[in-house]
Structure 1
């Protein structure tokens, strides 16, 4: 079955590789050496323009805070994460080796590696290598060229499974293959590494989680390990690993991609954050939406923790880099126990210093630049993650969970909900005296954060969410674009727009109205020509769009 998957998945690989080869070498396929040379130069020129949008950052932390055993565990976790990176390549672009073999320019190879393929993830998935065509919406989760209708009409029991791929044999018959079968060898190696780490682990919670997660990788049964992960309280090390997010599946938003974060807990910061989770039920009751859309009670066993991240792999390392994580995604666990919101403090600080502050100096009104502060940025991001736990998980129209009802429209709307409800929570907690600071800091920094995130493009869930917020807030007069081409927040109207957009999104989710969500995306998740001109100014000023990491055992100084 594994062999069948490879043959169907690579069906177009030879044609694609041949086309890439003609575009990147002196092949006569284009008609002349001059033509292929022009194509080569065009590719090199594009990469030369795009590569500088990434700022290189070293992922380090003070490992002296770790015990001797934890320092022994760290390299094992990084090795397991590296395997997740290889698996993500197989999901996102299985033809990596054949593509890289045809590309001699080192910077182009670097750009391919950053994007996990030949599509520019921060430029609306634009293909930057000749011959590859548009990025398949279903990545490699589905047979090449298959339509949504074919999948929907099929009698596959696991047609929308999170941990399987759909295959088509030579007769056209569809079947599914579980990840743990498809990637058996790689997952067994990763599982063994986690087992080795568990043998050394001193913290009982970490030991239990590592063992259960090791078992989960080779069975695709993740529930027990998710519970164990939620139960960990005293660990210093952590690893988030496995097939988790479904952003890469743009066909149905169903199938998950492999990724890993290796984390070191900042226990002092985490202690400061712990109190906010207990406030979730009260915040839920006060949501600015009709009572039937806020009847659910959010779990209060959730945790807020701050970490230094020392390794990214796979999905979380592709395109825009994640700076906070809210897991597990299982709605049943969320309702019963809540989630863990992990703030990646060192990565967050890097984005603030290298990107958000320079953007603010260019695009935020001079009189309001004094309100751009890291504590506000950290808090806004933190409550974005907390806000995933608020609102509604099950539709009120008997369409099941919101995720199931909205399918490929779910992720971007959920990210939009978290953005605006996070700000709603900040506003409420400031009024109650549970947060310190000036509301102007939080609102202005939020505005700058939108201008940072929309540069990721609207092909990505967070980019769509930010553009919806930008356009909605602009219509409500929450900010104005001044004659100098800068943005100035109207603090009173900002709060009103926040409440109105919160109600709008939660209502869409609660109704499970996929058609209405599609309409909202087409109307609001777009970048206007005026805004694009402003974003282009940032590019001309050489302000990076995102970061890439120097990471690994050598950077950390562990063996």
Structure 2
């Protein structure tokens, strides 16, 4: 879109040939607002070649024979809808994709651009890897290029922190907002039509209702009714999570949402086994290791805990690190009234465990404790991370409204940290009650290995910040030690104590809605110290992947 194009970063220099590694700076926006592309000597292809190797290719498949004939007809329609979400996310993250790709001859750079949805390395603190692009704008394309937070906050825009609009500036400097459903009307109409076609075919009443309501929601930006319908679905075999959902891309205010989609096939047997845990949320809430005023809310118990094989990722969830579990909707009102659905993406999780976590453990976990690295523990830790989003506090006790609104751009990383630590708290409690099987040593050691996996995402990303806070806090509390051999050994008793202390610390920060205190915690704790970086570099030298990149689509699945 023309106006969106003007509101984001414009390139003045793109490079295409090989040389030595250098860094890039400068903002490079032409005065006339038009993109000018100058071909220069590329000094970053070596960097790209090294970084591209951190991604392990994985085919995203499942047994489609378990699907009904009708579901197999619907699946390609859902994938087509997801592909359009991918196009829309590009427009949000980096609208100049086509003009940039047209100048890049190096195939590895093109591949790396596609993985990162732009010329910034998402798993290396958004480092530019194309000459001349400068730093990544904090506001992506949601706000006029170069605008300050102060200017937005002082504006009289009614929708200044809206989830489903873009802020634009005209030639006179006047600010206005444009709703997503207006800005992206053509694409959204196509997606809406595909979902309605799928709704006509499906025999599942719950899925039919959801698809129709979601189709309407995408062209109106009114998602509430479709969110409720999605939570009401119980018997569907297929599912699609689709729309503007997460706000990680908006690092200016953590307000505006990005387009994404997951196409899912439910594992009904696993889902049955998981169903009981959500009912335990109120009791777990009461026992949280924090002052009573911070745990007075009652979490919803209508939530579902399901396992899926994911067969297509698109947009935000596919950018850089790949999501392996989802907790939605994000709407706090719906969460309080109805709960959420926690979706565990089992095949993607297994791929990360096999390709990444196990090799990391062999290198960095103490030899005596490697026996405790188990997939079931990894699955449970990730699963209860998502369940734990429902625990704690949603509304501040200081009159500042919902925690998300009070903490703004500081919200996401702290909320992810809360879910990490309260997920472990849940595992500990359920093991004690006999509701979960296994040895606590499995869960704690696998959690430790999981931290070492996730901190490799860097601290520009919410989950990376959360994991670094946990790592540094646990280290200070003696929850683990780094041995003389450069491996990490868990102290199981101190691990539990640190878990409770960090739980209380985070929930208190959220309940107070104290943004300044959260900023202080981020600066002090969400950082990678040199010793840890040295250890992480060892993983790179051993060619252990940081994340996966998917081969996916109808051809991979064998559907038409």
TM over 0.5: yes
Report the equivalent of 2:218. Answer: 217
Is the 8 Å Cα contact of residues 17 and 98 (structure 1) preserved in structure 2?
Answer: no
- C-alpha distance in structure 2 between counterparts of 1:42 and 1:295, whole Å: 56
Aligned-residue offset at 1:191:
0.4
Report the equivalent of 1:28. Answer: 28
Q: TM-score, normalised by structure 1?
A: 0.95
- Seen in structure 2, the aligned counterparts of structure 1 residues 495 and 211 have a Cα distance that, compared at 3 Å, is same
- C-alpha distance in structure 2 between counterparts of 1:316 and 1:179, whole Å: 19
1:398-455 CA distance string (max 9 Å, x none): 0000000000000000000000000000000000000000000000000000000000
Is the 8 Å Cα contact of residues 394 and 401 (structure 1) preserved in structure 2?
Answer: yes
- Seen in structure 2, the aligned counterparts of structure 1 residues 28 and 448 have a Cα distance that, compared at 3 Å, is closer
1:43-82 CA distance string (max 9 Å, x none): 2111111111000000000000000000000000000000
Aligned-residue offset at 1:17:
15
Would you say how many aligned residue pairs link Structure 1 and Structure 2? 559
- Seen in structure 2, the aligned counterparts of structure 1 residues 385 and 536 have a Cα distance that, compared at 3 Å, is same
- C-alpha distance in structure 2 between counterparts of 1:404 and 1:358, whole Å: 40
Is the 8 Å Cα contact of residues 195 and 214 (structure 1) preserved in structure 2?
Answer: yes
- C-alpha distance in structure 2 between counterparts of 1:274 and 1:363, whole Å: 35
1:178-209 CA distance string (max 9 Å, x none): 00000000000000000000000110000000
1:363-413 CA distance string (max 9 Å, x none): 000000000000000000000000000000000000000000000000000
- Seen in structure 2, the aligned counterparts of structure 1 residues 24 and 478 have a Cα distance that, compared at 3 Å, is closer
- C-alpha distance in structure 2 between counterparts of 1:16 and 1:220, whole Å: 40
- C-alpha distance in structure 2 between counterparts of 1:286 and 1:34, whole Å: 57
- Seen in structure 2, the aligned counterparts of structure 1 residues 168 and 11 have a Cα distance that, compared at 3 Å, is farther
Please say which of residues 351-360 and 98-107 is displaced more in the overlay: 98-107
Structure 2 stretches lacking a partner, 5+ long: none
Report the equivalent of 1:305. Answer: 306
- Seen in structure 2, the aligned counterparts of structure 1 residues 218 and 368 have a Cα distance that, compared at 3 Å, is same
- Seen in structure 2, the aligned counterparts of structure 1 residues 177 and 5 have a Cα distance that, compared at 3 Å, is farther
Aligned-residue offset at 1:5:
6.2
Is the 8 Å Cα contact of residues 115 and 121 (structure 1) preserved in structure 2?
Answer: yes
Aligned-residue offset at 1:31:
24
Is the 8 Å Cα contact of residues 20 and 131 (structure 1) preserved in structure 2?
Answer: no
Report the equivalent of 2:297. Answer: 296
The SS at the match of 2:141 is coil
Is the 8 Å Cα contact of residues 4 and 169 (structure 1) preserved in structure 2?
Answer: no
- Seen in structure 2, the aligned counterparts of structure 1 residues 37 and 225 have a Cα distance that, compared at 3 Å, is closer
1:163-186 CA distance string (max 9 Å, x none): 000000000000000000000000
Aligned-residue offset at 1:107:
1.0
Is the 8 Å Cα contact of residues 309 and 348 (structure 2) preserved in structure 1?
Answer: yes
Aligned-residue offset at 1:109:
0.3
- Seen in structure 2, the aligned counterparts of structure 1 residues 537 and 32 have a Cα distance that, compared at 3 Å, is farther
- C-alpha distance in structure 2 between counterparts of 1:111 and 1:546, whole Å: 13
Aligned-residue offset at 1:212:
0.2
Report the equivalent of 1:523. Answer: 524
Is the 8 Å Cα contact of residues 11 and 36 (structure 2) preserved in structure 1?
Answer: no
Report the equivalent of 1:514. Answer: 515
Is the 8 Å Cα contact of residues 26 and 37 (structure 1) preserved in structure 2?
Answer: no
The SS at the match of 1:21 is coil
- C-alpha distance in structure 2 between counterparts of 1:541 and 1:317, whole Å: 25
The SS at the match of 1:18 is coil
Is the 8 Å Cα contact of residues 25 and 102 (structure 1) preserved in structure 2?
Answer: no
1:193-249 CA distance string (max 9 Å, x none): 000000001100000000000000000000000000000000000000000000000
Please say which of residues 12-21 and 259-268 is displaced more in the overlay: 12-21
- C-alpha distance in structure 2 between counterparts of 1:7 and 1:125, whole Å: 19
Aligned-residue offset at 1:42:
2.6
Is the 8 Å Cα contact of residues 166 and 177 (structure 1) preserved in structure 2?
Answer: yes
- C-alpha distance in structure 2 between counterparts of 1:73 and 1:262, whole Å: 11
Is the 8 Å Cα contact of residues 161 and 256 (structure 2) preserved in structure 1?
Answer: yes
- C-alpha distance in structure 2 between counterparts of 1:158 and 1:421, whole Å: 34
The SS at the match of 1:212 is helix
Structure 1 stretches lacking a partner, 5+ long: none
Is the 8 Å Cα contact of residues 407 and 513 (structure 2) preserved in structure 1?
Answer: yes
Q: Which runs of 4+ in 1 moved over 2 A?
A: 1-42
- C-alpha distance in structure 1 between counterparts of 2:395 and 2:493, whole Å: 32
Structure having the larger proportion of residues in helix: 1
Aligned-residue offset at 1:40:
4.2
Is the 8 Å Cα contact of residues 11 and 37 (structure 2) preserved in structure 1?
Answer: no
- Seen in structure 2, the aligned counterparts of structure 1 residues 14 and 6 have a Cα distance that, compared at 3 Å, is farther
- Seen in structure 2, the aligned counterparts of structure 1 residues 131 and 69 have a Cα distance that, compared at 3 Å, is same
- Seen in structure 2, the aligned counterparts of structure 1 residues 36 and 98 have a Cα distance that, compared at 3 Å, is closer
The SS at the match of 2:434 is coil
Is the 8 Å Cα contact of residues 479 and 492 (structure 2) preserved in structure 1?
Answer: yes
- Seen in structure 2, the aligned counterparts of structure 1 residues 516 and 97 have a Cα distance that, compared at 3 Å, is same
1:477-533 CA distance string (max 9 Å, x none): 000000000000000000000000000000000000000000000000000000000
Report the equivalent of 2:288. Answer: 287
What is the RMSD computed on CA atoms of the aligned residues?
4.0
The SS at the match of 1:20 is coil
Please say which of residues 40-49 and 330-339 is displaced more in the overlay: 40-49
- Seen in structure 2, the aligned counterparts of structure 1 residues 393 and 19 have a Cα distance that, compared at 3 Å, is farther
The SS at the match of 1:308 is strand
- Seen in structure 2, the aligned counterparts of structure 1 residues 358 and 208 have a Cα distance that, compared at 3 Å, is same
Is the 8 Å Cα contact of residues 21 and 27 (structure 1) preserved in structure 2?
Answer: no
Report the equivalent of 1:532. Answer: 533
Is the 8 Å Cα contact of residues 384 and 427 (structure 2) preserved in structure 1?
Answer: yes
